[in-house]
């Protein structure tokens, strides 16, 4: 005779397969009478659950998730490589989930992603990591997560994060330009949905104020973290009657776009226009001249975020709160910045 199956038990007890599974796994959501009926069917049929299958079903998830929305491909690849390297060290798999951070259904989308992929936890990259309502909703649903955020100090909001002091690094870049003798310094935003854009703008603003340099709103242009927006923004600033002698792009892609705009207009870099970027991506090294920038250890930041997430998974209620880690990008001076040409 063949061994009785869970389907035989369900038919004998006149319940669904899911109900039998709940009784076998001792879940509390089954009514006592139904539970008794299922146990009686199991006894009559001599059914024995497969222990290996039960073990597989009840095993702890061994997959981490990475959620991002960023037009900067170099940043995304560095974050992926950082998280993936930790997964490989620790025997975890990685599921990546690019998404639209402006979607009104983002919370439901991420909850479905976590459940469908059976994730142990999630690394949230900007700008999702900086949307407090979204983060609080995910935590309320029991999802373990670590955020990568732009902040001058530990946010101290109770959630696990790795924070990057973009403001201080942007101050250093702007200070470098001022000390070279520049007073007409343009600034090109990245996407305003990213906290890093605001922090970099604040660093630029702080340096101008502390050195007594007037901030001219005409020298500030909005855009996104992209080469095209850097090119367009630079063309706009370079068309001003009193154009800037230096432009600080919120990332290296933007700065590379500025460099292309300058060359297309016959403007010498760095003698007629100094250019600085941020992040130290391949754009900064492959440009000519190479770009002055702030070196951001994106892959290392992502590794620390993944390791912190594993700590949260292994020890969900530690005896003492785990400290959040901070990183500060460092100024790298290259050939794209120089003192402005003396006015004739």
Q: Does residue 118 contact residue 133 with C-beta atoms inside 8 Å?
A: no
Q: Out of 43-47, 55-59, 91-95, 176-180, which region has the weakest mean confidence (pLDDT)?
A: 55-59
Query: What mean pLDDT value characterizes the chain?
Result: 89
Q: Does residue 281 contact residue 301 with C-beta atoms inside 8 Å?
A: no
Q: Which helix (H) or strand (E) holds 301?
A: helix 298-314
Structure confidence at residue 314 (pLDDT): 82
Q: Is the pLDDT of residue 105 over 70?
A: yes
Q: Is the pLDDT of residue 57 over 70?
A: no
The predicted model gives 201-225 an average pLDDT of: 95
For residues 32 and 108, membership in a common domain is answered with no
Structure confidence at residue 326 (pLDDT): 92
11 belongs to a structural domain: yes
342 belongs to a structural domain: no
Tell me the C-alpha distance between 112 and 88, whole Å: 25
Domain count, the chain: 3
More confident residue, 294 or 139: 294
CB count in 10 Å sphere of residue 129: 28
The predicted model gives 19-33 an average pLDDT of: 76
Give the CATH number for residue 314. Answer: 3.40.50.2300
Find the helix packing angle between 106-117 and 132-140, rounded to 10°. 40
Q: What are phi and psi of 206, to 5 degrees?
A: -60, -45
Tell me the C-alpha distance between 194 and 291, whole Å: 23
Structure confidence at residue 74 (pLDDT): 84
Which residue, 23, 43, 58, sits at the end of a domain?
Answer: 58
For residues 142 and 182, membership in a common domain is answered with no
Which are the contacts of 65, defined by CB distance < 8 A and separation ≥ 6? Answer: 94, 95, 96, 97, 113, 114, 117, 119, 121, 122, 123
Q: Is the pLDDT of residue 32 over 90?
A: no
For residues 310 and 197, membership in a common domain is answered with no
For residues 289 and 188, membership in a common domain is answered with yes
Q: Is the pLDDT of residue 95 over 90?
A: yes
186 belongs to a structural domain: yes
For residues 226 and 129, membership in a common domain is answered with no
336 belongs to a structural domain: no
Which residue, 255, 272, 296, sits at the end of a domain?
Answer: 296
Structure confidence at residue 152 (pLDDT): 86
338 belongs to a structural domain: no
Give the CATH number for residue 34. Answer: 1.10.260.40
Q: Is the pLDDT of residue 51 over 70?
A: no
Q: What are phi and psi of 198, to 5 degrees?
A: -65, -40
Structure confidence at residue 52 (pLDDT): 46
Q: Which helix (H) or strand (E) holds 310?
A: helix 298-314
For residues 46 and 24, membership in a common domain is answered with yes
283 belongs to a structural domain: yes
For residues 258 and 175, membership in a common domain is answered with yes
173-193 pLDDT, tens digit per residue, is 999 999 999 999 999 999 888
Q: Is the pLDDT of residue 55 over 50?
A: no
Tell me the C-alpha distance between 162 and 262, whole Å: 36
Residue 90, domain extent = 63-165+298-329
Global confidence as pTM? 0.76
Find the helix packing angle between 6-13 and 32-45, rounded to 10°. 120
**Whether residue 127 has a cis bond before it, omega within 30° of 0:** yes
Tell me the C-alpha distance between 241 and 244, whole Å: 9
In percent, how much of the chain has pLDDT > 70?
A: 93
Residues in a beta bridge with 293:
332
The predicted model gives 42-52 an average pLDDT of: 76
For residues 224 and 123, membership in a common domain is answered with no
For residues 36 and 78, membership in a common domain is answered with no
The vertex-220 CA angle with 217 and 223, nearest 5°, equals 140
Assign 3-class secondary structure to 55-72.
HHHHCCCCEEEEEECCCC
Tell me the C-alpha distance between 94 and 77, whole Å: 13
The predicted model gives 139-153 an average pLDDT of: 89
Structure confidence at residue 58 (pLDDT): 47
For residues 254 and 303, membership in a common domain is answered with no
Residue with structure tokens 């992502």? 302
276 belongs to a structural domain: yes
For residues 170 and 252, membership in a common domain is answered with yes
66-75 pLDDT, tens digit per residue, is 999 876 778 8
Q: Out of 28-37, 89-98, 170-179, which region has the weakest mean confidence (pLDDT)?
A: 28-37
Strand pairing report for 330-332 and 293-295: antiparallel
307 belongs to a structural domain: yes
Q: Is the pLDDT of residue 252 over 60?
A: yes
For residues 142 and 290, membership in a common domain is answered with no
274-307 pLDDT, tens digit per residue, is 999 999 988 788 889 999 999 999 999 999 999 9
The vertex-127 CA angle with 295 and 216, nearest 5°, equals 65
């Amino acid at each position: 005779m063949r061994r009785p199956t869970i389907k035989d038990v369900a038919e004998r007890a006149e319940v669904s397969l899911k109900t039998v599974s709940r009784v076998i796994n001792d879940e509390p959501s089954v009514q006592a009478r139904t539970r008794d009926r299922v146990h009686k069917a199991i006894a009559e049929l001599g059914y024995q659950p497969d222990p290996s299958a039960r073990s597989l079903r009840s095993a702890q998830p061994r997959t981490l998730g990475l959620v991002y929305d960023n037009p900067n491909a170099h940043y995304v690849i560095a974050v992926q490589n950082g998280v993936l390297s930790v997964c490989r060290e620790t025997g975890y798999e990685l599921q990546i989930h690019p998404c639209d951070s402006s979607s009104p259904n983002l919370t439901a989308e991420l909850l479905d992603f976590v459940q469908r992929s059976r994730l142990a936890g999630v690394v949230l990259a900007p700008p999702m990591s900086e949307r407090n309502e979204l983060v609080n909703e995910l935590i309320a649903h029991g999802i373990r997560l670590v955020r990568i955020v732009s902040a001058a100090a530990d946010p101290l909001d109770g959630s696990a994060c790795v924070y990057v002091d973009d403001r201080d690094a942007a101050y250093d870049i702007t200070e470098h330009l001022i000390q070279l003798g520049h007073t007409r310094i343009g600034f090109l935003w990245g996407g305003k949905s990213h906290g890093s854009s605001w922090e970099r703008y604040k660093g630029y603003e702080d340096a101008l104020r502390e050195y007594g340099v007037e901030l001219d709103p005409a020298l500030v242009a909005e855009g996104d973290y992209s080469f095209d927006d850097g090119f367009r923004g630079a063309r706009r600033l370079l068309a001003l009657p009193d154009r800037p002698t230096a432009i600080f792009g919120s990332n290296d892609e933007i700065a590379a776009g500025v460099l292309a705009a300058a060359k297309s207009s016959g403007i010498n870099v760095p003698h007629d226009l100094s250019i600085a970027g941020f992040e130290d991506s391949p754009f900064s090294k492959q440009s000519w001249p190479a770009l002055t920038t702030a070196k951001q250890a994106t892959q290392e930041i992502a590794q620390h975020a993944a390791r912190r997430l594993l700590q949260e998974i292994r020890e969900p209620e530690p005896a003492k709160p785990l400290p959040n880690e901070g990183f500060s990008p460092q100024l790298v001076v290259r050939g794209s910045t120089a003192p402005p040409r003396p006015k004739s």
